[in-house]
Structure 1
Amino acid sequence: MSTPMPEGRVRQVIAAYKMTRRTDKFLPLILFASFAITIGIFGAAVLILVPSLWLQIIFMVSVFLVGLIVVLFIFGKRAEVAAYSQLEGKPGAAVAVVQNIRKWSITAAVAADRNQNMVHRAVGRAGVVLIAEGSSGLGSMLSSERKRTVRLIGDSPLTEIVIGNSSQTTPLKSLPKKLKSLPKKLNRAEVSALRKRLEAVGGMNIPIPKGPMPKSTNMRVPRQ
């Protein structure tokens, strides 16, 4: 006997659908078409290749489930794209993304200015990562924060990531992949000690973009 989807998950799916629908006008048509095409192809194969009526019925149930899986997969991918597009360019967008990545913690705006340039500090098994987002004047701010952070963390690994869409920066949507690709140089105890050391420094209180954010690879479809 299958267990019903938890109420919280249902609300998450509905919120994700509404969010995606705002920017993806063809979402209902795409989901319906993907379901119909999957059912049509696999259903025709079952009717042609399976002679027994009872076996056809059993296989058609499986075909229906495959169709649902395809729909959920496509929905999850499009929801993720929509979430990133709505976060793009908003102050604190990088924080909203990192907060949804397992085994990483982030302190928002350890450095910021009136032009909404910000440097955030993430901590994980790869060490400390300074994530900068903004425009002009970002380089000097990141350099100053790097020097300050080095004094705080000593020999712990330090990486810098600048959010942007140029060849020398990292797109917001690629941030989870970038963080997960960093070599893991610290064990859990070292990460915990590093976090405690940096907690006292803190950051600034800035509003972080809210909404149903796909959690990248660790989020079950449908979604961030």
Structure 2
Amino acid sequence: MSTATPEPAKGRLRQMRQAYTITKRTDRNIGLILLLWFLVVGGVFAVAGLFVFGRGGFGITMAVIFGVLTGLLAVLIVFGRRAERAAYAQVEGQPGAAAGALQMLKRGWNVKPAIAFTKNQDVVHRVVGRPGIILVGEGNPARVRGLLGAERKKHVRIGGDEIPVHEVVVGNGDGEVKLTKLNKHIQKMKKTIRPAEQTGVLNKLKALDAMRPAAPMPRGPMPTSMKGARKAMKG
């Protein structure tokens, strides 16, 4: 009988290594930080385990196991947060960074990148979910707001009065949403439409999208770091 490691396990380990490498580029003390979290959290819970299970042989064994497991859990949680933060830091400012972040939205959100764009790489992406239609612009704020206004008119005609159309500008200025907070900002929007209405809107938008020119690929590296880091955390 073969004793080879299953492929899914190998894939998860490879993703973890890739996420660690990505994080290490901007968070150079990540190894020491994770070790400290493991020792502190694991140590605290190991001591607590001695009081719960007793100080005999069985109690010491259970306390060690309890400490190791809780320490590893703390490491995974901290690593996940810092890996995601590092990935955002590496892609912020690159063309398509907002699209990369939006692709990490979970089930229930329909994301279509680059529905409108300019030659200067100002881009509008679209998200359809329970809050309605959300237009997300990235690039030069002045140009993006004009592009968002034009897209809003088109989508209001599609959605009518029943489907809200929201506008979001990604950036660090007043009235803008930071890339690191983009998905949370969208997920916190008030849910105003039913899933059936969401499906109907998507069907109507297909006709609008069919008349659009193909979106050009942004110059420079594609921002895939965030998605890779999140995959590794999911295991």
TM class by shorter chain equals 0.7 to 0.9
Structure 2 residue 216 is matched with structure 1 residue 209: no
Of 133, 137, 141, the residue aligned with 2:138 is 133
Deviation at 1:39, TM superposition (A): 2.9
Query: What count of residue pairs does the alignment treat as equivalent?
Result: 220
User: How far is the alpha carbon of 1:212 from its aligned partner?
Assistant: 4.2
For 1:104, give the aligned amino acid. Answer: W
When the two chains are superposed, the root-mean-square deviation of aligned CA atoms in Å is: 2.6
Is residue 36 of structure 2 the alignment partner of residue 33 of structure 1? Answer: yes
Find the aligned partners of 2:159 and 2:82 in 1 and give their Cα distance.
39
Of 86, 90, 97, which residue of structure 2 is paired with 1:93?
97
What is the alpha-carbon distance in structure 2 between the residues aligned to residue 48 and residue 120 of structure 1?
Answer: 55
Q: Specify the alignment match of 1:81 in structure 2.
A: 85
Q: Distance in 2 between matches of 1:5 and 1:84?
A: 26
The answer to whether 1:63 aligns with 2:70 is no
Q: Please state how far the C-alpha of 1:167 moved relative to its aligned partner.
A: 3.0
Q: How does 1:181-220 map to 2 (within 5 A)?
A: 181-202=188-209, 204-207=215-218, 209-213=222-226
1:123 aligns with 2:128: yes
TM normalised by structure 1 equals: 0.87
The structure in which a higher percent of residues are helix is 2
Unaligned 5+ runs, structure 1 = none
SS in 1 for 2:61: helix
Moved more, 194-203 or 43-52: 43-52
- The residue type equivalent to 2:92 in the other structure is E
In 2, distance between residues paired with 1:106 and 1:37?
41
- Name the residue aligned to 1:177: 184
Q: Does 1:12 align with 2:15?
A: yes
Give the residue type in structure 1 aligned to 2:185: K
> Matched residue of 1:12: which SS?
helix
Deviates more, 1:195-204 or 1:25-34: 195-204
Following TM superposition, by how much is the alpha carbon of 1:147 offset from its aligned partner in structure 2, in angstroms? Answer: 1.2
Identity across the alignment (%): 35
> Amino acid of the residue matched to residue 20 of structure 1?
T
**Following TM superposition, by how much is the alpha carbon of 1:48 offset from its aligned partner in structure 2, in angstroms?**
6.9
Unaligned runs of 5+ in 2: 1-5
Q: TM-score, normalised by structure 2?
A: 0.83
- Give the match for residue 116 of structure 2: 111
